Structure 1
Amino acid sequence: MNETPWLAGVDEAGRGPLAGPVVAAVVVLDPCSRIAGLTDSKKLSAKRRETLALEIRTRALAWGIGRASVEEIDHLNILQATFLAMQRAVERLPKWPVRVLVDGNQCPALDCEAEAVVGGDMTVPEISAASILAKTARDAEMQDLHQLYPQYGFDRHMGYPTAQHMKALTTFGPADCHRRSFAPVRRLLLAASG
């Protein structure tokens, strides 16, 4: 019996926040074990995401998580750091997929066929699953950062530039986990040094 060629979906979480890593996930679903309810992670409640993430990790043929640190984001830029996180996720698979579908309009360099799918997190189950794993993995990291830096409220906004986060940044200044290359953080650092 011939083995089914692996089709993988890739997505990321955390391109827009002012703090924390960017996290990517890759998922190879089992065509014989469908998972109901897969969609863009942003359309799901936190509780539903966690339930689906457990199901994905249990029932998928394979999955992997990759990340790029705040330092890598500041050094490379957010797009290249996102691609790096995606590459690291795919490298965690036990074997290379024949094809990778990536949410968005650009693909990282991979040693296999890759195709960008705009809106793929809503239409391609493998990408939806990757979206859910990336989001839950990154949210867990932001909860850890909240324990270290409770004054910023990372447990509520996950590092995104909400009014609460901007107020805390202005009051306390940036922490080590803030992305210095992002304009709101850079402006605060320039104001503090000038």
Structure 2
Amino acid sequence: MIRDTSAKNPAKDAPTKAAAKKAASAKPAETPAAKTSAVKASKVPAGNKGIIAIAPPSFRRERALIKRGVWPVAGCDEAGRGPLAGPVVAAAVILDPDHIPRGIDDSKRLTAEEREKLFDKICATAQVSVAVASPSRIDRDNILRASLWALKRAVVALPETPRHVFVDGRDRLDTECDCEAVIGGDGIVLSIAAASIVAKVTRDRLMCALAQDCPGYGFEQHKGYAVPEHLEALDRLGPTIHHRSFFAPVVAARAKHMPWTVEPVQDLFAATAVEVQVDAAVEIDVSANL
């Protein structure tokens, strides 16, 4: 009887079990692209999958201007466009390229404690100016024009006249030097970010001071923004001289507490009866045009 002994005696070139096991456990060869993706993946902390890292603002645009011989370069930003009460505060900052405080970022990404610390460092190392547009100016000019007015005043008030200004937003300022508007600039341009911190801290301090003169509104907590607590206090107590008269919740509160100050608005689309009088002495020949 002939027996098949190939299972016990494998072919000469066939791998042994140990070799096969070793080959299975070996890592596949990595391509350059795979190596790059592996490096990137290794930089993502465990448990933080799905989180998108936001790059902080940089001094790149300012340095590009310095290399071209353009200096000083300022950044400006404002705080307080949206609130129902309080002023708009604008700030302009010229950072010292050799003494830039670490941690400067868009003021909205920082805690109140971080903003306070950076405020002191910025004021100690940079050229800083601040301008304020009052609620009465906001009522007179509207919020956009009042903000641009304050930003220009802040730039003019700098100790040294800048040759180039970066401003946050889409509107350029009417300044004697070159002005460049950067949408989302407080998260891109370091000088604008520094100005956003100065403007935010200054306005928060002003609102805390107003809270002592106007107790019950909670200005020290919400800084004048239209949060439920502020709306409730506005409806209960009525507006103060620090509220912006033409913002809708303020108008409603004023109509409730001080109706004599609200002028009635004529409805231009209301239907009105029109009387037509026909002189009986005039005879109309309706058959003439038939």
Partner of 1:54: 120
Partner of 1:132: 197
Q: CA deviation at 1:155?
A: 0.6
Q: CA deviation at 1:34?
A: 2.1
1:147-166 to 2 correspondence within 5 Å?
147-166=212-231
Partner of 1:23: 89
Superposed CA offset, 1:140-187 (max 9, x none):
100000001120000100000000000000000001100002111112
8 A contact 2:86–2:207 mirrored in 1: yes
What's the % identity of the aligned pairs? 47
8 A contact 1:105–1:118 mirrored in 2: yes
8 A contact 1:30–1:59 mirrored in 2: yes
Q: Distance in 1 between matches of 2:189 and 2:82?
A: 22
SS where residue 152 of structure 1 aligns?
Answer: coil
SS where residue 150 of structure 1 aligns?
Answer: coil
Q: Distance in 1 between matches of 2:120 and 2:140?
A: 33
1:99 corresponds to 2:164 = yes
1:122 corresponds to 2:187 = yes
8 A contact 2:70–2:163 mirrored in 1: no
Amino acid at match of 1:148: D
**Quick one: which of 163, 166, 176 aligns to 1:111?**
176
Q: Distance in 2 between matches of 1:186 and 1:96?
A: 41
| Rg comparison, structure with higher value | 2
Partner of 2:251: 186
8 A contact 1:67–1:84 mirrored in 2: no
SS where residue 114 of structure 1 aligns?
Answer: strand
Number of aligned positions between the proteins: 191
Root-mean-square deviation (CA), in Å? 1.2
Q: CA deviation at 1:4?
A: 6.3
8 A contact 2:70–2:164 mirrored in 1: no
**Quick one: which of 62, 75, 78 aligns to 1:9?**
75
Amino acid at match of 2:144: L
8 A contact 1:178–1:185 mirrored in 2: yes
**RCO comparison, higher one (Cα < 8 Å, 6+):** 1
Q: CA deviation at 1:117?
A: 0.4
Q: CA deviation at 1:84?
A: 1.1
Partner of 1:33: 99
Structure with the larger strand share: 1
Q: Report the TM-score when normalising by structure 2.
A: 0.64
Q: Report the TM-score when normalising by structure 1.
A: 0.95
Superposed CA offset, 1:64-109 (max 9, x none):
0011001000000000100111111112112221110001111221
Q: Distance in 2 between matches of 1:67 and 1:21?
A: 6
Flag as ranges the 4+ runs of structure 1 deviating above 2 A. none
Residue ranges of structure 2 left out of the alignment (5+ in a row): 1-68, 261-290
Q: Distance in 2 between matches of 1:29 and 1:65?
A: 15
